[in-house]
A and B are shown apart, each in its own frame.
Chain A
């Protein structure tokens, strides 16, 4: 039975993790996540080897690793082009625009009621449809990728921010009323802080969206660098280890991006019940 060693490794790793997780220190938490990942990689390698999966279908992690080592220069260029120029700029512009819009329409229930349903509609426009159009409008380079990212992240953040601005509890609002707080004060001192947990929810979800957007947009036209470009080209050349190397970079970059935003969230919303162990 060729499946037997695979199952054995799985069970072994799971047991180890279950045991480790009981300690719940910073070190063990990291160890647990790493062991989980390592297990997946080992299982992957085992499956590929034991079942002799052709490398053009699924290369083994070891070959992907080798490809990463070989192609660092290419990977770096692509990272700069797609992640730093495309995804990050787009995400920043989209997030700032969404926050500004949320604040702008916050005072007007009329605009909110008019804009949000349409916002939901626009958010539902599939990226594969928008990307070619934006490439046509903004050209081939990273600007069009950033534009795609802006469109993708704008509405999720807007919707969260609007919900957040409304998410104060009645007594907190009443207090502001008793002080006759002018609009700006209640915005800065009450609604913005109260909106932070929601805003960060939106920001976190959109980190991954931004990456997907920037990469996918490159399928619809790009200069000869970028992760999406490399992936589609490498697939055509059956250089699957390079494809997976790019995917690996995307995954690491995305996790880092998410992690950084989550870290900032922790700092900013330290007071929120989901961030602290509070009492009754």
Chain B
């Protein structure tokens, strides 16, 4: 019943196939969604359009409704390699600014989430009081209070990376909290009874039973949390004066209707997130293998 883990090719082939399918659909969608504009323009100019013209024009618009994949790729490529990485037009530069705040926020959020979860599992007063309010905290629309957070912190003299990181932490602590509470509570009754029979102390129970038991949950949560931290940072970048970072890129692209720039920034952000998630996945498989949990 043991399933051989797929080879590298076995892992990449499916992804490529699905990707190919997506790109094809994307091209079709681009033609379809951009066509009305191209037709309107032709009508305004009293020109006649052949199908060939239509397709060519829909895929090369400067302000497409949906940019074609190659346009986004070109935008990305230009943003990443076309500039010195210290240039303000470089996606690497903006990516780095976003990344640093994301990591800081992720660290704060994860620490807060784990600490709260430990508190909830070990302290009944916390168990009964914190969780409903943690849920409530997540329903507060951060984009709405982000500007206030930034303003309040700025008036307290805190600027730069920290306000963004705090917004990122706000979003990322919740998945960690939920996952860790669940994880710390999974040990089955017999395993807990065993610990009980050895009169293990609370901290021993934690380190030897609850924590190892919760690791799979923790890693799953961390993956969600790091993506959330990235979103938080980007949200925090909007009102932070929209000066730098992928969020500012998105916004200014949006502001000037530069669809290609939006999509390039969007993809840069997603690539960053995917890379971070993969990094955590890698740490996870390493840890679980060392613990003998990966079968």
Which A residues have a C-beta under 8 Å from some C-beta of B? 14, 17-18, 20-22, 24, 28-29, 32-33, 35-37, 40, 57-58, 110-115, 117-118, 120-130, 132-133, 136-137, 156, 163, 170, 173-174, 201, 204-205, 208, 211-212, 215-216, 219-220, 227-228, 231-232, 235, 243, 246-247, 250-255, 257-259, 273-274, 277-280
Contacts and interface: CB of A to CB of B under 8 A. Distances in A.
Interface string B6-29: 100011011111110010000000
Contacts of B174: 205, 208
15 contacts: A29-B128, A111-B14, A112-B14, A118-B18, A120-B274, A121-B273, A124-B274, A126-B234, A170-B1, A208-B138, A219-B143, A251-B137, A273-B186, A273-B188, A279-B189
Most chain A CB neighbours (cut-off 10 Å) among B1, B18, B144, B152: B144
Contacts of A279: 189
A227 B132 contact: no
B89 interface: no
Given A132-B254, A208-B135, A216-B143, A124 B230 contact: yes
A128 B125 contact: no
A125 B189 contact: no
A274 B185 contact: yes
Interface stretch (B41-49, B73-81, B104-112, B264-272): B264-272
A255 B15 contact: no
A231 B141 contact: yes
Given A125-B266, A173-B1, A254-B138, 19 more contacts: A14-B125, A20-B125, A21-B124, A21-B128, A24-B124, A33-B128, A37-B133, A113-B14, A114-B17, A120-B277, A126-B230, A130-B266, A137-B33, A208-B135, A219-B143, A235-B144, A246-B144, A254-B135, A274-B182
Interface string B176-217: 001000100110111001000000000000000000000000
Contact of B269 (A35, A129, A212): A129
Contacts, number: 195
Interface of B: 1, 6, 10-11, 13-19, 22, 33, 65, 124-125, 127-130, 132-133, 135-145, 147-148, 151-152, 155, 174-175, 178, 182, 185-186, 188-190, 193, 220, 223-224, 227, 230-231, 234-235, 238, 246-247, 250-251, 254, 262, 265-266, 269-274, 277
A34 B195 CA distance: 34
A211 B139 contact: yes
A127 B14 CA distance: 27
B139 A253 contact: yes
A111 B128 contact: no
A120 B270 CA distance: 9
B293 to A, nearest CB: 14
Contacts of B152: 57-58
B40 to A, nearest CB: 16
Nearest to B179: A201
A228 B140 CA distance: 11
A108 B234 CA distance: 35
* Complex A-B, nearest 6 residue pairs according to Cβ-Cβ distance, in ascending order: A254-B139, A124-B273, A114-B14, A36-B129, A114-B18, A280-B190
Contact of A247 (B138, B141, B277): B141
Contacts of A113: 6, 10-11, 14-15
Contacts of A246: 144
Contacts of B223: 120
A221 to B, nearest CB: 11
Nearest to B125: A21
Contacts of A253: 139
Contact of B139 (A117, A118, A255): A255
Nearest to B235: A128
A129 B11 CA distance: 29
Given A126-B250, A129-B250, A216-B143, A110 B138 contact: no
A133 B63 CA distance: 12
B144 A111 contact: no
Contact of A208 (B139, B151, B251, B273): B139
Contacts of B220: 163
B178 A204 contact: yes
B128 A32 contact: yes
Most interface-central of A232, A258, A278 (chain B CB within 10 A): A258
A279 B125 CA distance: 25
Nearest to A278: B189
Contact of A250 (B19, B127, B129, B140): B140
A219 to B, nearest CB: 6
Nearest to A280: B190
Nearest to B1: A170
B14 A129 contact: no
Contacts of B137: 251
Contacts of B141: 211-212, 215-216, 227-228, 231, 247, 250
A124 B277 contact: yes
A62 to B, nearest CB: 19
Contacts of B269: 124-126, 129
A274 B179 CA distance: 12
Contacts of A173: 1
A174 B273 CA distance: 38
B231 to A, nearest CB: 5
A38 to B, nearest CB: 11
